[in-house]
Amino acid sequence: MTPEVEGYGCTIDELMVVAFSRAMDNDTRAFNGAVSFIPVCGYLLARRTHAPNLVWAASSIAIDASPASIPESTLSDALWDGASMLSTSPYDFWSYASGARYNTFAFRGAQMDGWGNVNNTVIGSYDSPKVRLPGGGGMADLGS
């Protein structure tokens, strides 16, 4: 949990969830990447407050999931509770994504610059990094 934002009575994470959710509407068709807790919470908050028709593919697998709580992993099948449909193959996801059926992709990035470029590979030199990160997981394909 992040520290409280002075004067707001909430944490930075909570403020980001609210800001993210406000950018969503009833025409949003979205999915989340791995370890993307802020987008997951933002999608659920938007659906419960102002965008009930938002379509969300939890972990790119469970369509319109409605979990009672957020599990420890955004790739957990507990996040799929209440889904109207489960995708059974990567082909389903990629065919929807490449066919522009989704209009919102939310990935976590370890670093992001002012133009929205995301680094999720290494911090520091590639050959001798300070931190080795999990990688892109399709970010380049979906972001282009």
Question: Quick one: pLDDT at residue 143?
Answer: 57
pLDDT of residue 116: 73
Do 8 and 76 lie in one domain? The reply is: yes
Residues 82 and 140 in one domain: no
Radius of gyration for the alpha carbons in the chain, expressed in angstroms and rounded: 16
Q: Can you give the pTM of this predicted structure?
A: 0.77
How many domains does the chain divide into?
2
The confidence score (pLDDT) of residue 41 equals 92
- Give SS3 for 40: helix
Q: What are the counts of helices (DSSP H) followed by strands (DSSP E) for the chain? A: 4, 11
The residue ranges of the chain whose pLDDT is under 50 are: none
The reply to whether 8 and 69 lie within a common domain is: yes
Same domain for 70 and 34?
yes
Q: Are residues 14 and 85 in the same domain?
A: yes
Look up the domain containing 47 and give its range.
4-108
